[in-house]
Amino acid sequence: MKLIFEKSKAGISCDVLPPCDVPDAPLSPQTARKQPARLPCLDENQISRHYSALSKRVFGVNDGFYPLGSCTMKYNPKINEELAGLPGFTGVHPLQPEYTTRGCQKVLELAAQYLCEIAGMDAMNFQPAAGAHGEFTGLLLFKAYHESRGDAARKKIIIPDSAHGTNPASAVMAGFSVVNIASGPDGCVDIEALKSAAGPDTAGLMLTNPNTVGIFDPNILEITRIVHEAGGLNYYDGANLNAVMGIARPGDMGFDVVHLNLHKSFSTPHGGGGPGSGAVGCKSFLSPFLPVSGTCLAGTSAGAPAPSYSGQSIGRVRAFQGNFLVVARALAYLFTLGKENIPEVARNAVLNANYLMEKLREKFPSAYPGPCMHEFVISLEKMKAAHGVSALDLAKALQDRGMHPPTIYFPLIVHEAVMIEPTETESKETLDEAAAAFLSIYEDILTDSESLRDAPRNTVIRRPDETQAARKPVLRYIAP
C-alpha cells in the first residue's frame, strides 16, 4: 500500500474555503514557518479511500478474538461511547469557571464514590493517565507518608517476580530501590522470603493481584500483615480488577493504595497509545498527600467544595482532572451494569479463562496447577525442545487462524510463555473456535512443524525483523 505522501500530486486539493475577504495579518518572523508545511495533495475521495484502506489493515477487538494476556482487550459497549460523547462532556474546557462545570464535577464524584466502594478505598484521584502512571503516583504517596513521619530509612519496595513489569520500573522512577522476591512453585509469594525481606528499610510492597500468571494469592492477608507489621505500606496493582470486582476488595485485604486501569476493566477501548486513566485510590490517612486536583473523597456530594489540602500534597502528576472522558465512560459502564451485575463481570472473566484453560489442558498444559483467575499461562518450553516450535511460532500461527496472538515471552518467570486472557465478553462459541485453532496448530506441530516457521501466511506483513524494529525503528517518513 502506498503512503499518503506517495499518492500526493501537486496542485490537487479539496479545500472549500471561500477566498479570504479580510486583510492578511502576517505572523511575526519568530512564529512564522521558514518553509511551507509539506502536506500531501489529494482530493477528498482519495483521502477517504486511503483511511478506509488503512483501517482494514489493523486487527482490533471488533475484528475478532483478542486474548492478549494482561491487556484486557474486551468488548466495550457502544453506549459508553455515546454517553461520553455528549457535547456537554466533549465541549468543556478545563479553565471554564467551576460553576459552569457542575455536571462534569458530578461525574467525577459519582465515579469516585463507586470506584472507592468497589476497591474498598476512601479517596480516588483521576489525574494519572495510565496504569504505570498510577503506580508512580501511589508510590509517591508512600514516600510522602514516610517522610511526613520522619521515617527516612524506608527506601525499599518489595516486589514479587510475578508482578507486572511496570511495578519495578515505577518503584525506581519514584526513587526507591527494588527488592525482588521469587515466587514459589505454585506461582505465589514465598512467605518466608517476604518475611526475611521486610524490615525497617521497607517502604512497602507492590502486589499485582491476580498476579501475571493469573493467580489470586491465597496468602494475601498474611502478606499484607507481614508488611504492615514491618512498618511498610501495601500497594495493590488493580489493573486487572475485572477478575475480582464486586467479589473482593483490595481495601479489605490490607492494601493502603490501589490503582485501577479504567481503560482495561472499566470500558475505554485502548491500545495504540489511546487515552487511559490509572485512577489511584487510597485510605483516608493517605488522602492529604494526593495530587492537588482530580481528587474526590468518597461520600462527598455534588457541588461540595473540593477537599482541602494540608500542604502535604505530592503536587500535580498531570494537568487538570486527568483524562476526564475515560472517567465518563467508566461511570456509564458502572451505571449500565449496576451493583448487581458488577460481580457477574468478574465471574465471567474467571469462567472464560478457566473454560479455555481446561479445553487446552491436554495439549498445552498450564504452567501452574489449579484454577486461574482472568488469565493463564502455558509454556512451550518442552514443545520447543521436542519439535523446535517456539512461543513466537505459535503466536504467528494463531494469526493465520483469524485471532490476535496472546502475549508471549511474558511473564519472564515462565520460559516460552504464552499468556492468554480471553476476557469476560467472549461467547462460548468464540472460545470453542479459539480452542480448535490451538489444537489444529498442535496437529501441525506434530506433523509439519517446518510450516509453522513460515507463519503467518495470510497477514499483510509476515515476519518483520523484531530486533531491528525495536532497535532501529523507522518512525518518520523520509521521502525517497
By the rule CB under 6 A, 261 interacts with ligand PLP = yes
Q: How far apart are CA 80 and CA 83, in angstroms?
A: 5
Question: Which residue has the CB atom at the shortest distance from ligand PLP?
Answer: 131
Q: How far is the CB of 57 from ligand PLP (least distance, A)?
A: 24
Q: Which of 67, 120, 131, 214 binds ligand PLP (CB under 6 A)?
A: 131
Residue with cell 482519495: 46
Q: How far is the CB of 275 from ligand PLP (least distance, A)?
A: 10
Please list every residue from 83 through 112 that binds ligand PLP, using CB under 6 A. Answer: none
Residue with cell 496472538: 405
C-alpha cell of 476? Answer: 518518520
Q: Which stretch binds ligand PLP (CB under 6 A): 236-244, 288-296, 358-366, 450-458?
A: 236-244
Q: How far apart are CA 326 and CA 328, in angstroms?
A: 5
Q: Which of 70, 113, 242, 423 binds ligand PLP (CB under 6 A)?
A: 70
By the rule CB under 6 A, 240 interacts with ligand PLP = yes
Q: Which of 105, 166, 313, 390 binds ligand PLP (CB under 6 A)?
A: 166
Residue (190 or 237) nearer to ligand PLP, CB? 237
What stretch of H or E contains 280? strand 278-282
Q: What angle do CA 406, 53, 81 make, to 5 degrees?
A: 65
Q: How far apart are CA 322 and CA 287, in angstroms?
A: 17
Q: Which stretch binds ligand PLP (CB under 6 A): 112-120, 154-162, 234-242, 319-327?
A: 234-242
Residue (107 or 419) nearer to ligand PLP, CB? 419
Strands (E), 7-143: 123-125
**Whether residue 305 has a cis bond before it, omega within 30° of 0:** no
By the rule CB under 6 A, 132 interacts with ligand PLP = yes
CB 413 within 8 A of CB 180: no
Residue 46 DSSP one-character state: H
Q: How far apart are CA 309 and CA 356, in angstroms?
A: 49
By the rule CB under 6 A, 164 interacts with ligand PLP = yes
Q: How far apart are CA 473 and CA 457, in angstroms?
A: 23
Residue 68 DSSP one-character state: B
Q: Which of 160, 204, 231, 276 binds ligand PLP (CB under 6 A)?
A: 276
By the rule CB under 6 A, 321 interacts with ligand PLP = no
Neighbours of 59 (CB within 10 A): 16
Residue (120 or 278) nearer to ligand PLP, CB? 278
By the rule CB under 6 A, 280 interacts with ligand PLP = no
Q: How far is the CB of 202 from ligand PLP (least distance, A)?
A: 21
Residue (166 or 202) nearer to ligand PLP, CB? 166
Q: Which of 231, 254, 278, 281 binds ligand PLP (CB under 6 A)?
A: 278
By the rule CB under 6 A, 205 interacts with ligand PLP = no
Q: How far apart are CA 156 and CA 176, in angstroms?
A: 5
Q: Which of 80, 127, 162, 208 binds ligand PLP (CB under 6 A)?
A: 208
Q: How far is the CB of 131 from ligand PLP (least distance, A)?
A: 2
DSSP 378-446: EE-HHHHHHH---HHHHHHHHHHTT----EES-STTSTTEEEE---TT--HHHHHHHHHHHHHHHHHHH
* String of contacts with ligand PLP for each residue 24-63, x by CB under 6 A: ----------------------------------------
Nearest to 136 by CA among 100, 107, 172: 172
Residue (61 or 297) nearer to ligand PLP, CB? 61
Going from the C-alpha of 166 to that of each of 116, 124, 137, 417, the distances in angstroms are: 23, 21, 13, 18
Nearest to 235 by CA among 137, 102, 316, 323: 137
**Would the CA dihedral through 426, 429, 432, 434 be positive or negative?**
negative
CB 346 within 8 A of CB 322: no
Q: Which stretch binds ligand PLP (CB under 6 A): 130-138, 193-201, 220-228, 445-453?
A: 130-138
Exposure of 447 in the CB half-sphere (CA atoms within 13 A): 6
Residue (132 or 337) nearer to ligand PLP, CB? 132
By the rule CB under 6 A, 267 interacts with ligand PLP = no
By the rule CB under 6 A, 245 interacts with ligand PLP = no
Q: How far is the CB of 157 from ligand PLP (least distance, A)?
A: 15
How many chain residues bind ligand PLP (CB under 6 A)? 13
What residue ranges bind ligand PLP (CB under 6 A)? 70, 130-132, 164, 166, 208, 237, 239-240, 261, 276, 278
